[in-house]
């Protein structure tokens, strides 16, 4: 027994040495300088469309831009919670000097690991806790949804628009309201109906929610969930849909008006450059159309020229800062003034939004 | 939108949402009637879903895809069958392992097929009959798998209660020692029952990936395999009650979506119900989380009601359920 045990430890020891050699070999460049190692933690598989897919495009943009000056790694399908902490710590221990954690539930694990690795730079997406070596970043998705609302308001014939939503948190409510404001800016008679599916990802339930909205008369569907089931349902039932995260046109070529997408390439490149230059500091990035972090995918052929012009004009105005999707007066759907005339909503107002604006039907679930 | 059409829509949605549960639960029912508890339904469904999808992409025929899904489900079940029937492993642990394995395996083999669009199975409108108002769209305008689910239900009922083979299967589930003593091959019969359960699980998966939402996505069953398992108990091992349970579960899911989409008109309709009941219902509707739990809640409540009657459970539950059988013992 003893013999066996020692034999095992020898093998294990050899394995560790070999691994360490392999790792250090991979990290040393020909000129002797170390590559910058950049790690990514993803909440879902990369797949073909969606939240993680967009972040992975950003990772690829880094590789493209910096070539052999960087080495990126990613870990996908990491559950939020204790598992995330283990993965993040492992990435830091493996010598990654910059780590992007791309889901809200990674917030506390990121802060915790960041304390133990003060020399590593962390960037966490969609959270609100920062530290000396932890930045936060997110995109102003609602700007894209406002533009989608303009298209939907122009394309609808029934004046009923359907919205498949995940959970009633400010992020999602903000998107619904921005969409409704966009719709109302071109079509004061249209109404937005919302169905909550209580899941970010359940293709079956998203599909049923879409069918339900169509049955209730909706002829343009919008989604704040992750699968492509809504676009598919629209295609099958002959109505329009707006995709989310990525261009989803191949799932419903006749239905897909556009998609509100998020693009992280430039943000990731800038962050890597800052770490290489040694100028990285803890900050909060919340970029929208202006910064290119939110973009609309190419508009479908069914969108007429005048609507294209309208959208392009609004895009330019928002990007330039002349138009705010929540410019006062903002009324909730009970008639109460939430933002007075002549003012824009504050970022704090956006981050804590818990009401439906005028144009959305029903009561916001608590 | 008039209320009548909405009702039809809700009912049609109910049938669609309930059908994968009918398949999976019928398969598990036969397995359990033979005295075997297979908790791997979710895993078998996922492997069925991904296999059916891949074969449909490769051949262009959803019908071949369905056959492939059934075959894949049977293969998964055979892993379970081999382990539990020949190596006498613990059925609960093996079933759980099968689900975990199925989740991983399906994700792995489906990796290159995420996001591939396909033409799913289309509904078959039965000429003439589908034109009848109300009954037409409700009963005669579905994809062929929905008709198949009803046919299988009848077949399973008939098999269990009207045939000699069904009697033998139930005998094995009640007392494997007695069945063995009079010369039936317990292991062989159980293996066949397990394979049937696997095939039905695969079929349920194919319904999801080829009809319900024609796409492959990791973990797309979203827990429906577990609901199917609960439905078997819910139905006290009676095939017809499986159908009722599945439609009840599907119906409440669909209804909760419709209630939300209708929004204000529902709250005004509810105002005729006297308080506090009306207020209470409104509070549930206004909480999407509560609304989403309703189908599960309803299942739990019915399960609790059924379990109160202990004799009923004892009369219907196969007496040897989950117990390993060793011929030499």
Q: What is the pLDDT of residue A25?
A: 44
At A279, list the tokens. Answer: 């100028």
* A213–B220 CB contact, under 8 Å: no
Q: Got the DSSP string for B254-312?
A: HHHHHHHHHTHHHHHHHTTSPTTHHHHHHHHHT-HHHHHHHHHHHHHHHHHHHHHSHHH
Which regions of chain B does DSSP assign to beta strands (E)? 124-125, 141-142
Q: Find the helix packing angle between B144-162 and B164-174, rounded to 10°.
A: 70
Distance of CA B299 to the CA centre of its chain: 14
- Rounded Cα gap, residues A33 and A20, in angstroms: 17
At A220, list the tokens. Answer: 């343009």
Counting every residue, how long is chain B? 329
Residue B4: its chain A contacts at CB < 8 A? Answer: none
Residue B321 lies in a domain: no
Distance between A362 CA and the closest CA of chain B, angstroms:
5
Residue A217, chain B, CB below 8 Å: the answer is yes
Residue A194, chain B, CB below 8 Å: the answer is yes
The CATH number of A141-261+296-351, from 3.30.70.370, 3.40.50.2300, 3.30.360.10, 3.30.43.10, is 3.40.50.2300
Q: What is the pLDDT of residue A215?
A: 87
Cα torsion B267, B270, B276, B282: sign? negative
A to B CB pairs, distance under 8 Å = 123
Residue A215: its chain B contacts at CB < 8 A? Answer: 1, 5-6, 9, 258, 261
CB A191 within 8 A of CB A159: yes
Nearest to B260 by CA among B289, B224, B231: B289
From the list B213, B254, B286, the residue facing A232 with the nearest CB is B213
Residue B292 lies in a domain: no
* B261–A193 CB contact, under 8 Å: yes
Residue B274 lies in a domain: no
The CATH class of A34-139 is alpha beta
Q: What is the pLDDT of residue A38?
A: 96
For residue A127, give the 3-state DSSP assignment. Answer: coil
Which residue positions in chain B have pLDDT lower than 70? 1-3, 263-276, 278-279, 282-289, 291, 312-313, 328-329
Question: Residue A300's CB: how many other CB atoms inside 10 A?
Answer: 20
Q: How many domains does chain B have?
A: 1
* Complex ipTM value: 0.74
Q: Tokens 């294209």 sit at which residue?
A: A308
At B7, list the tokens. Answer: 């009702």
Domain span including residue B197: 3-124+133-222
- Rounded Cα gap, residues B222 and B292, in angstroms: 14
Q: What is the pLDDT of residue A82?
A: 84
Judging by beta carbons within 10 Å of its beta carbon (0-12, 13-18, 19+), is residue B165 exposed, middle or buried?
exposed
* B212–A195 CB contact, under 8 Å: no
- Rounded Cα gap, residues A134 and A293, in angstroms: 20
**Residue B288, phi then psi, degrees to nearest 5:** -60, -30
Question: Residue A33's CB: how many other CB atoms inside 10 A?
Answer: 9
Judging by beta carbons within 10 Å of its beta carbon (0-12, 13-18, 19+), is residue B29 exposed, middle or buried?
buried
Nearest to A301 by CA among A257, A240, A251: A257
For residue B2, give the 3-state DSSP assignment. Answer: coil
Which regions of chain A does DSSP assign to beta strands (E)? 36-41, 70-75, 98-101, 121-125, 134-139, 160-165, 191-196, 220-224, 240-245, 256-262, 284-287, 294-296, 330-331, 337-339
* A207–B212 CB contact, under 8 Å: yes
Residue B255 lies in a domain: no
* B261–A202 CB contact, under 8 Å: no
Residue A251, chain B, CB below 8 Å: the answer is yes
Residue A24, chain B, CB below 8 Å: the answer is no
Q: What is the pLDDT of residue A29?
A: 42
Q: What is the pLDDT of residues A199-209, one digit of tens each?
A: 887 888 899 99
* A203–B1 CB contact, under 8 Å: no
Residue A233's closest chain B neighbor by CA? B213
Judging by beta carbons within 10 Å of its beta carbon (0-12, 13-18, 19+), is residue B223 exposed, middle or buried?
exposed
Residue B267: its chain A contacts at CB < 8 A? Answer: 362-363
* B217–A168 CB contact, under 8 Å: no
CB B136 within 8 A of CB B130: yes
Q: List A residues 57-76 in contact with B (Cβ-Cβ < 8 A).
A: none
Distance between B267 CA and the closest CA of chain A, angstroms:
9
Q: A34-139 and A141-261+296-351: same fold?
A: yes
Residue B329 lies in a domain: no
Distance between B17 CA and the closest CA of chain A, angstroms:
8
Q: What is the pLDDT of residue B20?
A: 95
Q: What is the pLDDT of residues A268-326, one digit of tens each?
A: 999 999 999 999 899 999 999 999 999 999 999 999 999 999 999 999 999 999 999 99
**Residue A295, phi then psi, degrees to nearest 5:** -140, 150
Residue A366: its chain B contacts at CB < 8 A? Answer: 286-287
Distance between B188 CA and the closest CA of chain A, angstroms:
37
Residue A162's closest chain B neighbor by CA? B261
pLDDT tens digits, chain A, 366 residues: what are they? 344 445 455 455 555 445 444 444 444 444 445 789 999 999 888 877 789 999 999 999 999 999 999 999 999 888 888 889 999 999 999 999 999 999 988 999 999 999 999 999 999 998 889 999 999 999 999 999 999 999 999 999 999 999 999 888 888 999 999 999 999 999 999 999 999 988 887 888 899 999 999 988 999 999 998 888 899 999 989 999 999 998 999 889 999 999 999 999 999 999 999 999 999 899 999 999 999 999 999 999 999 999 999 999 999 999 999 999 999 899 998 889 999 998 999 988 998 899 999 999 988 886
* Annotated domain spans of chain A: 34-139, 141-261+296-351
**Residue B154 contacts by C-beta under 8 Å, 6 or more apart in sequence?**
none
At B4, list the tokens. Answer: 């009548």
């Amino acid at each position: 027994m003893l013999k066996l045990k020692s034999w095992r430890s020898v093998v294990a020891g050899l394995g560790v040495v070999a691994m360490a050699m392999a790792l250090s070999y991979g990290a040393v460049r020909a000129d002797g300088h170390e590559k910058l190692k950049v790690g990514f933690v993803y909440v879902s598989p990369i797949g073909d469309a969606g939240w993680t897919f967009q972040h992975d495009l950003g990772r690829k943009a880094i590789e493209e831009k910096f070539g052999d000056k960087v080495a990126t790694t990613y870990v996908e399908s990491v559950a939020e919670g204790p598992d995330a902490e283990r993965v993040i710590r492992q990435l830091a221990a493996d010598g990654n000097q910059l780590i992007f954690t791309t889901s809200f539930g990674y917030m506390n694990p990121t802060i915790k690991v960041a304390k133990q690795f003060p020399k590593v730079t962390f960037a966490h997406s969609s959270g609100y806790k920062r530290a000396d070596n932890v930045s936060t970043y997110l995109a102003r998705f609602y700007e894209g949804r406002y533009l989608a609302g303009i298209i939907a308001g122009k394309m609808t014939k029934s004046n009923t628009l359907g919205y498949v939503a995940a959970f009633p948190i400010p992020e999602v409510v903000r998107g619904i309201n921005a969409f409704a404001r966009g719709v109302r800016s071109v079509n004061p008679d249209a109404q937005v109906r919302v169905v909550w599916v209580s899941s970010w990802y359940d293709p079956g339930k998203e599909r049923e929610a879409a069918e339900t909205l169509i049955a209730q008369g909706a002829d343009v569907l919008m989604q704040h969930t992750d699968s492509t089931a809504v676009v598919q349902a629209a295609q099958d039932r002959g109505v329009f849909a707006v995709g989310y995260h990525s261009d989803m046109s191949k799932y419903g070529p006749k239905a897909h008006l556009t998609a509100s997408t998020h693009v992280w390439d430039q943000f990731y490149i800038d962050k890597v450059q800052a770490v290489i230059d040694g100028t990285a500091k803890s900050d909060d990035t919340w970029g929208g159309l202006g910064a290119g972090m939110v973009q609309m995918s190419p508009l479908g052929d069914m969108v007429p020229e005048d609507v294209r012009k309208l959208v392009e004009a609004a895009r330019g105005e928002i990007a330039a800062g002349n138009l705010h999707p929540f410019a006062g007066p903002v009324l909730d759907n009970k008639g109460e003034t939430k933002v007075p005339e002549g003012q824009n909503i504050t970022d704090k107002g956006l981050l804590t939004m818990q009401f439906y604006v005028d144009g959305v039907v029903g009561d916001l679930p608590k | 939108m008039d209320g009548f059409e909405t009702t039809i829509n809700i009912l049609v949605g109910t049938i669609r949402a309930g059908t994968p549960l009918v398949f999976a639960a019928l398969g598990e029912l036969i397995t359990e009637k033979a005295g075997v508890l297979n908790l791997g339904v979710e895993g078998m469904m996922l492997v069925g879903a991904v296999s059916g999808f891949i074969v449909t992409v490769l051949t262009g025929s959803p019908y071949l895809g369905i056959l492939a899904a059934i075959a894949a489900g049977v293969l998964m079940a055979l892993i379970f069958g081999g382990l539990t029937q020949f190596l006498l492993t613990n059925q609960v642990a093996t079933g759980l392992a099968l689900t975990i394995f199925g989740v991983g395996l399906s994700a792995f083999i489906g990796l290159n097929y995420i996001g591939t669009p396909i033409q799913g199975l289309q509904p078959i409108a039965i000429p003439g009959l589908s034109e009848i108002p109300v009954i037409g769209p409700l009963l005669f305008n579905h994809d062929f798998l929905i008709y198949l689910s009803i046919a299988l239900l009848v077949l399973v009922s008939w098999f269990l209660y009207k045939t000699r083979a069904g009697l033998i299967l139930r005998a094995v589930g009640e007392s494997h020692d007695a069945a063995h003593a009079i010369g039936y091959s317990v292991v062989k019969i159980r293996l066949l029952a397990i394979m049937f359960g696997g095939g039905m699980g695969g079929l349920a998966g194919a319904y999801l990936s080829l009809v319900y939402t024609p796409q492959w996505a990791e973990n797309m069953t979203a827990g429906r395999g577990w609901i199917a398992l609960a439905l078997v108990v819910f139905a006290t091992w009676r095939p017809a009650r499986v159908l009722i349970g599945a439609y009840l579960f599907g119906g409440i899911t669909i209804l909760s979506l419709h209630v939300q989409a209708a929004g204000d008109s529902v709250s005004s309709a509810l105002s005729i119900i006297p308080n506090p009941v009306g207020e209470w219902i409104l509070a549930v509707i206004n909480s999407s989380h509560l609304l989403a739990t309703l189908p599960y809640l309803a299942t739990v409540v019915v399960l609790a009601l059924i379990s109160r009657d202990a004799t009923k459970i004892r009369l219907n539950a196969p007496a040897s359920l989950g117990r390993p059988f060793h011929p030499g013992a």
